[in-house]
Amino acid sequence: MEKLFLRGSESLALGAIDASLKFYAGYPITPQNDIPEFLSKELPKVGGKFVQAESEVAKINMLLGASACGIRVMTSSSSPGISLMQEGISYLAGSELPAVIVNVMRWGPGLGGIGASQGDYHQATKGGGHGDYFVPVFAPYSAQEMYDLIIKAFDVADEYRTPAMILVDVMISLMKEKVLRRYDKGIKVKEKKWAFGSKKEGDQKIIKSLYLKGNDLERHNWKLYEKYQKMCQKEVLYEAYLCDDAEIILIGFGMIARIGKSAVDLARERGIKAGLFRPISLIPFPERELENLSTKCENFLVVEMNTGQMVHDIKRVVGKDHNIGFYGKPSSYAPNPEELYLKIKEYLEK
Partner 1 sequence: MKVVYKKPEVLKNINFHFCPGCQHGLVHKIIAEAIDNFGIKDRCLAVIGVGCGVFLYDYFDVDSLEAPHGRGLAVATGVKRARPERIVFTYQGDGDLAAIGLAETVHAANRGENVSVFFVNNTIYGMTGGQMAPTTLLGQITTTSPYGREFQREGYPIRMAEMLATLEGVAFSARVALCTPKQLMDAKKAVKKAFQMQIEGLGFSFVEILSSCPTNWNMQSLDAIKRVEEEMIPFFPLGIYKERRVSDVL
Applying CB under 8 A, which residues contact partner 1? 22-23, 25, 49, 51, 53-55, 57-59, 61-71, 73, 87-88, 91, 95, 196-200, 204-210
Amino acid residing at 332: S
Strands 323-328 and 176-181: unpaired
Give the separation between CA 184 and CA 195, rounded to whole angstroms.
27
Least distance to partner 1 from the beta carbon of 49, Å?
Answer: 5
Residue 59 vs 106, nearer CB to partner 1: 59
Asked if 192 and 159 touch (Cβ cutoff 8 Å), the reply is no
Residue 55 vs 331, nearer CB to partner 1: 55
Q: Please list, in sequence order, all residues whose beta carbon lies within 8 angstroms of the beta carbon of residue 156, skipping any fewer than 6 positions away.
A: 136, 162, 164, 231, 235
Least distance to partner 1 from the beta carbon of 63, Å?
Answer: 6
Least distance to partner 1 from the beta carbon of 204, Å?
Answer: 5
Q: Please list, in sequence order, all residues whose beta carbon lies within 8 angstroms of the beta carbon of residue 269, skipping any fewer than 6 positions away.
A: none
Residue 74 vs 280, nearer CB to partner 1: 74
Residue 73 vs 250, nearer CB to partner 1: 73
**Among 203, 185, 183, 186, CA closest to 194:** 203
Least distance to partner 1 from the beta carbon of 213, Å?
Answer: 11
Least distance to partner 1 from the beta carbon of 232, Å?
Answer: 28
Give the separation between CA 27 and CA 38, rounded to whole angstroms.
13
Asked if 85 and 60 touch (Cβ cutoff 8 Å), the reply is yes
Residue 84 vs 236, nearer CB to partner 1: 84
Least distance to partner 1 from the beta carbon of 34, Å?
Answer: 23
Long-range residue pairs from 321-327, CB within 8 A, at least 24 positions apart, any chain: 322/294, 322/298, 323/298, 323/299, 323/347, 324/300, 325/299, 325/300, 325/301, 326/301, 326/302, 327/301, 327/302, 327/303
Residue 198 vs 295, nearer CB to partner 1: 198
Least distance to partner 1 from the beta carbon of 73, Å?
Answer: 8
Residue 66 vs 267, nearer CB to partner 1: 66
